[in-house]
Amino acid sequence: MNKNSKVLALKYRPQTFDDLIGQEILSDTIINSIKANKVANAYLFTGIRGVGKTTTARIVAKSLNCINGIENLCKENLCENCDAIASSRHIDVLEMDAASKTGVDDVRDLIEFSRYGPTSSKYKIFIIDEVHMLSKQAFNALLKTLEEPPEYLKFIFATTEIKKIPITVVSRCQRFDLSRIKSHELLNFIKKIKEKENGKVNDEALRLIVKISEGSVRDALSLLDRALLSFDGSKELDLAAAQKIFGYFDKSQLIKMFNLILKGDENRVIESYRNIYDQGVEPKIFINDFLEVLYYFKNINSLTLESTNFSLNDEQFDMIKKISNNVDSEVFILFWQFTIQTLSELDVVSNQHLSIEMFLLRLIHLKGLKPKDQTQNENDKINNLKDDIHNNASSKILNKDVINQIKNVVQEKKDKSKPKIETKVTNERAIESFDELVAVCSDKKEIKLKYELEKNVNLVKFENGRIEISFNDNLDKDFVKNLSIKLLEWTSQRWIISFSKNRGEMSIRDKEKNTQKKLIEDEKNSDLYKKVLDKFPDAELIDIKHIRKDDEK
């Protein structure tokens, strides 16, 4: 295949340690171990997708088997061994995909093959990709060979799920954790690739590619490949065009929406979201970006522009900082909780677009949210009024207007910070027994409370204003709170609900089951049932229902 026809991720795949980016510690360690002739029996490379696990495994294989040695490792004019390893056709370097060969028989074949020395190179090397997919029996079969392999045999494992590998296997390997590639390194790398490909992509679009790739070189190259193919050579790909291609939108829109939410402007908030939605942004992507910007709002004073990994530009960074300084941190924490909850709700609603709109309206109507300066002004106002009263105290005559003003300000603040429980009762009702309590729940359509009382509660004692109960493990954790609120609403009286160590009476459901069971037993002894069995020996009585006289007619 012509090299120029390859996708960028394959075309620019690193061939030596010098080509690797972001993994300097790994490179230095392995190079030094080869030079000192202290090569590990097995290497284990772990990290996210696209950071160079399989690529590094091949480079290690070439470093061990290069005809020219580690000091003069092939870079351009590849020797016979390096060329064969790069093309995955070397007879002594076997690459196995553990995702497709997971069984113990595959590993046994591997071990059997390892009994024979290398044919044309110094080491026989087994590269096993996605090694965490091997079965437990397959791992066990590897243990002895891993610990004491022949001198000519080396294992190289690659995985994205290190926790799925047995610790007995990990302990026999020299482990390397390949880190995500830093944003500035990845940006410089894809800039060079863009120049080699004569692509026209501006820096803002490249930064978006770096952000989306999340530290993965392969993802970044795949996105760059897509960007270069989207436009012809006559036009340059800018940020706006890149956002459309990759399904992202300008963060400035989200920051302005935040400001509108804090101001309580419903119409403009919904209009702003619909504009974003019309750009083709999916609700889940919107929510995730919302969470990201919310994080910046909360922690902006401890961040620098560079630490945002190109998510924000200078203007956006300053805008967030200006807005966040006028809002209490508790507001952003509360917003975060609501947003996380909405993210889980999207999986159960049919129209996610409407769910997002309602989510934004809920944020607007959260009570008690005031900018810092407004809250501070109210506190200063109260303190000034108190000072005035203190100064006039010697005369023992207080100005009524001042006192009333303090009451109004303080009361307004209390009203907005603590919601009141409405205790006004319109239909007061006396409840004198447990059965009557169940009946009231049924009348008031409190089905959840009725269900808990009938099924999960055992009555120990019932008297006016006090209920003593025991319960089973299925009782709802909010049962006592909900029942207390409803009893206060129905009777205009506060009730004490206490738990007892005594077993108490059977639950209503258990009583009904026992009654039904006794009816069935009694009926089985009747002459009618015996006559039915004579005619139908396999018949079985499973339930009894009472028929009202009206139903018989």
* Structure token pair of residue 175: 């482990």
Q: 201: buried, middle or exposed (CB in 10 Å: 19+, 13-18, 0-12)?
A: buried
What is the pLDDT at residue 414? 46
| Residue 126's pLDDT band (cuts 50, 70, 90) | very high
What one-letter code names the amino acid at 43? Answer: Y
Q: What is the pLDDT of residues 327-363, one digit of tens each?
A: 888 888 888 988 988 888 888 888 888 899 999 998 8
* Structure token pair of residue 416: 């907005």
37: left (phi over 0), alpha (psi -120 to 50) or beta: left
Region 75-83 average pLDDT: 85
Alpha helices in 40-182 (DSSP H): 53-65, 80-86, 104-114, 136-147, 167-170
Mean pLDDT of all residues belonging to the chain: 81
Q: What is the pLDDT of residues 404-460, one digit of tens each?
A: 444 444 444 444 444 444 444 445 677 888 888 888 888 888 888 888 888 888 888
| Residue 380's pLDDT band (cuts 50, 70, 90) | low
Q: For the structural domain made of 183-246, what CATH number should be given? A: 1.10.8.60
What is the pLDDT at residue 32? 93
* Structure token pair of residue 42: 């097995």
Please say if the pLDDT value at position 545 is more than 90.
no
Q: What is the pLDDT of residues 255-306, one digit of tens each?
A: 889 889 988 888 999 998 988 888 778 888 888 888 988 898 888 888 776 6
% of the chain exceeding 70 in pLDDT: 84
Tell me which range, 121-125, 519-523, 537-541, is most confidently predicted by mean pLDDT: 121-125
- The CATH number fitting domain 251-364, selected from 1.20.1250.20, 1.20.272.10, 1.20.1270.360, 1.10.760.10: 1.20.272.10
Q: So where are the chain's domains?
A: 3-177, 183-246, 251-364, 372-417, 434-505, 509-552
Please say if the pLDDT value at position 249 is more than 80.
no
Please say if the pLDDT value at position 549 is more than 80.
no
Q: For the structural domain made of 3-177, what CATH number should be given? A: 3.40.50.300
What is the pLDDT at residue 423? 42
Please say if the pLDDT value at position 241 is more than 50.
yes
- Range with the poorest average pLDDT among 101-110, 189-198, 387-396: 387-396
Nearest to 63 by CA among 33, 91, 41: 33
Please say if the pLDDT value at position 371 is more than 80.
no
| Residue 205's pLDDT band (cuts 50, 70, 90) | confident
Residues 6+ positions from 280 with CB-CB distance below 8 Å = 244, 247
d(CA 187, CA 167): 36
What is the pLDDT at residue 169? 93
Region 350-378 average pLDDT: 72
What is the pLDDT at residue 416? 47
- Range with the poorest average pLDDT among 41-50, 189-198, 383-392, 497-506: 383-392
Q: Do 3-177 and 183-246 agree at the fold level?
A: no
Q: Do 48 and 161 contact (CB within 8 A), yes or no? A: no
Q: Do 103 and 133 contact (CB within 8 A), yes or no? A: no
Whole-Å CA distances, 45 to 140, 150, 160, 170: 20, 21, 9, 10
Half-sphere exposure of 326 (CA within 13 A, CB side): 13
DSSP for residue 417: H
- The CATH number fitting domain 434-505, selected from 3.30.300, 3.40.50, 1.10.1060, 2.60.40: 3.30.300
Q: Do 346 and 353 contact (CB within 8 A), yes or no? A: no
Give the three-state DSSP class for 363: helix
| Residue 385's pLDDT band (cuts 50, 70, 90) | very low
| Residue 55's pLDDT band (cuts 50, 70, 90) | very high
- Range with the poorest average pLDDT among 34-43, 161-170, 248-257: 248-257
d(CA 172, CA 536): 71
- Range with the poorest average pLDDT among 54-58, 359-363, 487-491: 487-491
